[in-house]
């Protein structure tokens, strides 16, 4: 029996579309911070200052000294699917962090956002947006680079607001995002401040200076600054290659393993990711040197031709898809086992059995 009322199909209101899409890119304050810091890195910043209030719900501010945005292009920067980073012709050849042109539009849709920027030799300007409504471009005082202020995140989408965790948990997730990006970019200086009660400096990382004797030394120093001495002193270096995939980084000694997996960091082509394949391979690489329930500390950097990995599968770009997953898994497991061989108990010889 046919239902008596047939519902009418109508296109969604554009602002509703923006809010739905925004939810995929920006899930919580930490994802907003990730997008904003990535933008600063794409703009060639050498220093990035992040401030949050109330776990990022009340305020997120990211300030950089990058190339800036021309006053006339500020509205485009906040428009959905507008980007300076690709023409969209080859989404498999992505070398910048951004390419979707969605982050600022998403934040502008679900929060109160102010974008202030200045290109060298031009005048500074600012543009505000609130719940998807754009204001007008106005002159603004700013010495250089870009400042993005996001206030009242998700005020326009109360349902999403309810899913946020407590202030402390959100603030910790923000710090985690900044640390991960800082590990990927040792030559950039970072600060993170919490403005909830007065001003508290959460993280300060000075820019590392390149070491001509040892190109990996700057990265090692940055990892030590972020992960602590315990990691850097015991960790063994990784260096393995297979068919155009290169694995470097450091693997913590089994003795330094922890009760949780928070100190496992994987990067693909300089991008921090939370990729199941890589994290699984990391576990497998330690399988016979670690008791169950123990988690190794590690920072793995996998580099390959951008065409061998699709970073486009996840809106927040946290997961990637490799053209040849088995090869990548084998490379990581094999590279780790070889590096950790001295830490492995000697194999039992047949005659001892």
Residue 100 binding partner per list ligand ADP, Mg ion, none, with a CB distance cut-off of 5 to 8 Å that depends on partner kind: ligand ADP
Nearest to 143 by CA among 163, 167, 124, 164: 124
For helices 325-340 and 276-285, the axis angle rounded to 10 degrees is 30
**Residue carrying the six token digits 């850097």:** 232
The answer to the question of residue 39 lying near Mg ion (CB under 5 A) is: yes
Structure tokens given for 337? 């086992």
Q: At a CB cut-off of 8 Å and minimum separation 6, what does 173 contact?
A: 28, 29, 30
The answer to the question of residue 98 lying near Mg ion (CB under 5 A) is: yes
Residue 101 binding partner per list Mg ion, ligand ADP, none, with a CB distance cut-off of 5 to 8 Å that depends on partner kind: ligand ADP
Spatial separation of the C-alpha atoms in residues 342 and 289, rounded to whole Å: 10
Specify the residue, 103 or 223, whose C-beta has the smaller distance to Mg ion.
103
Per DSSP, the three-state class of 8 is: coil
Least separation in angstroms between residue 115's CB and ligand ADP is 8
Residue 251 binding partner per list ligand ADP, Mg ion, none, with a CB distance cut-off of 5 to 8 Å that depends on partner kind: none
Q: Extract the runs of DSSP E, i.e. beta strands, from 274-348.
A: 298-303, 309-310, 321-322
Least separation in angstroms between residue 225's CB and ligand ADP is 24
Q: Give the binding range for Mg ion (CB under 5 A) out of 15-23, 33-41, 126-134, 244-252.
A: 33-41
Least separation in angstroms between residue 285's CB and ligand ADP is 33
Residue 102 binding partner per list Mg ion, ligand ADP, none, with a CB distance cut-off of 5 to 8 Å that depends on partner kind: ligand ADP
Look up residue 181 and give its DSSP letter.
H
The answer to the question of residue 66 lying near Mg ion (CB under 5 A) is: no
Residue numbers 267-306 binding Mg ion by CB under 5 A: none
**Residue carrying the six token digits 């910043």:** 45
Least separation in angstroms between residue 96's CB and Mg ion is 8
Specify the residue, 96 or 196, whose C-beta has the smaller distance to ligand ADP.
96
Spatial separation of the C-alpha atoms in residues 248 and 251, rounded to whole Å: 10
**CB distance 134 to 95 below 8 Å:** no
Residue 43 binding partner per list ligand ADP, Mg ion, none, with a CB distance cut-off of 5 to 8 Å that depends on partner kind: ligand ADP
Specify the residue, 39 or 264, whose C-beta has the smaller distance to Mg ion.
39
Spatial separation of the C-alpha atoms in residues 108 and 62, rounded to whole Å: 15
Applying CB under 6 A, the residues found at the interface with ligand ADP are: 35, 39-40, 43, 64, 66-69, 77, 83-85, 98-105, 146
Q: Give the binding range for Mg ion (CB under 5 A) out of 101-109, 276-284, 287-295, 326-334.
A: 101-109
Q: Extract the runs of DSSP E, i.e. beta strands, from 32-90.
A: 47-53, 59-64
Positions touching Mg ion (CB under 5 A) are 39, 98, 103
């Amino acid at each position: 029996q046919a239902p008596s009322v047939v519902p009418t199909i109508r296109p969604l209101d554009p602002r509703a579309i923006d809010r739905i899409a925004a939810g995929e890119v920006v899930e919580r304050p930490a994802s907003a911070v990730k997008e904003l810091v990535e933008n600063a890195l794409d703009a060639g910043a050498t220093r990035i200052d992040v401030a949050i209030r109330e776990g990022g719900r009340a305020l997120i501010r990211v300030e950089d000294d990058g190339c800036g945005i021309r006053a006339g292009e500020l509205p485009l920067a906040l428009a959905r699917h507008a980007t300076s980073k690709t023409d969209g012709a080859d989404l498999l050849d992505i070398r910048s962090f951004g390419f979707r042109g969605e982050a600022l539009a998403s934040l502008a849709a679900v929060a109160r956002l102010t974008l202030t920027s200045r290109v060298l030799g031009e005048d500074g300007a600012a543009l505000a947006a609130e719940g998807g409504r754009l204001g007008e471009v106005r002159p603004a005082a700013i010495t250089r680079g870009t400042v993005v202020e996001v206030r009242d995140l998700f005020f326009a989408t109360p349902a999403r607001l309810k899913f946020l965790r407590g202030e402390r948990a959100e603030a910790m997730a923000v710090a985690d995002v900044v640390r991960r990006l800082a590990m990927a970019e040792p030559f950039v200086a970072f600060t993170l401040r919490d403005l909830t009660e007065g001003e508290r400096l959460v993280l300060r990382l000075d820019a590392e200076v390149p070491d001509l004797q040892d190109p990996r030394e700057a990265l090692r120093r940055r990892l030590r600054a972020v992960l602590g001495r315990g990691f850097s002193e015991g960790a063994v270096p990784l260096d393995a290659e297979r068919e155009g995939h290169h694995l470097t980084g450091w693997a913590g000694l089994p003795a330094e393993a922890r009760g949780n997996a928070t100190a496992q960091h994987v990067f693909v082509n300089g991008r921090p990711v939370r990729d199941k394949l890589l994290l699984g391979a990391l576990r497998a690489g330690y399988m016979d040197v670690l008791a169950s329930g123990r988690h190794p500390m590690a920072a793995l950097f996998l580099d390959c031709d951008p065409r061998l990995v699709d970073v486009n599968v996840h809106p927040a770009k946290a997961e990637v898809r490799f053209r040849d997953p088995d090869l990548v898994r084998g490379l990581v497991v094999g590279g780790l086992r070889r590096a950790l061989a001295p830490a492995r108990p000697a194999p039992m010889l047949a005659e001892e059995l």
